[in-house]
Structure 1
Amino acid sequence: MAELHIIGQIIGATGFPQNSLFCKWGVHTGGAWRLLSGLREGQTQVDMPQTGDMAYWSHPIDLHYTTKGLQGWPKLHLQVWHQDSFGRCQLYGYGYIHVPSSPGQHRLQCVTWRPLGSWQDQLSEMFVGGGPQLRSPDLIYSGADRYRLHTVGMGTVELELCIILRHFDRYGVES
Structure 2
Amino acid sequence: MAEVHIIGTLAGASGFPSSQLRCKWRIVAGDGWRLIEGDVEGSTQVDMPQASKFTAWSHPLDLHYATKTVTGWPKIQVQVLRRDWLGRDELYGYGFTHIPTTPGEHKLEIVTWRPALSTFDSLYSWIFGTTPTLVNTDLVHTPTDRFRLTTCSMGKVHLNVGIILRNFEGYGVAM
The TM-score, its normalising length taken from structure 1, stands at 0.97
Residue 91 of structure 1 pairs with residue 95 of structure 2:
no
Question: What is the 5 A alignment of 1:26-175?
Answer: 26-175=26-175
Partner AA of 1:105 in structure 2: E
Distance between the aligned counterparts of 1:118 and 1:74, measured in 2?
Answer: 35
Pairwise CA distance, 1:21: 0.2
- 1:7-36 residue CA offsets vs partner (Å, 9 max, x unmatched): 000000011111210000001110000000
Distance between the aligned counterparts of 1:60 and 1:44, measured in 2?
Answer: 9
Pairwise CA distance, 1:129: 2.2
Taking only aligned residues, the RMSD between alpha carbons, in angstroms, comes to: 0.9
Q: Is the 8 Å Cα contact of residues 116 and 122 (structure 1) preserved in structure 2?
A: no
- 1:78-123 residue CA offsets vs partner (Å, 9 max, x unmatched): 0000011211111100000000000000000000000114332122
Partner AA of 1:33 in structure 2: W
Distance between the aligned counterparts of 2:174 and 2:51, measured in 1?
Answer: 45
Counterpart secondary structure, 1:125:
helix
Runs of 4+ in 1 over 2 A off after TM superposition: 126-129
Distance between the aligned counterparts of 2:160 and 2:114, measured in 1?
Answer: 23
Pairwise CA distance, 1:58: 0.2
Q: Percent identity?
A: 51
Partner AA of 1:85 in structure 2: W
Distance between the aligned counterparts of 1:172 and 1:103, measured in 2?
Answer: 17
Unaligned runs of 5+ in 2: none
Unaligned runs of 5+ in 1: none
Number of equivalences: 175
Distance between the aligned counterparts of 2:60 and 2:40, measured in 1?
Answer: 12
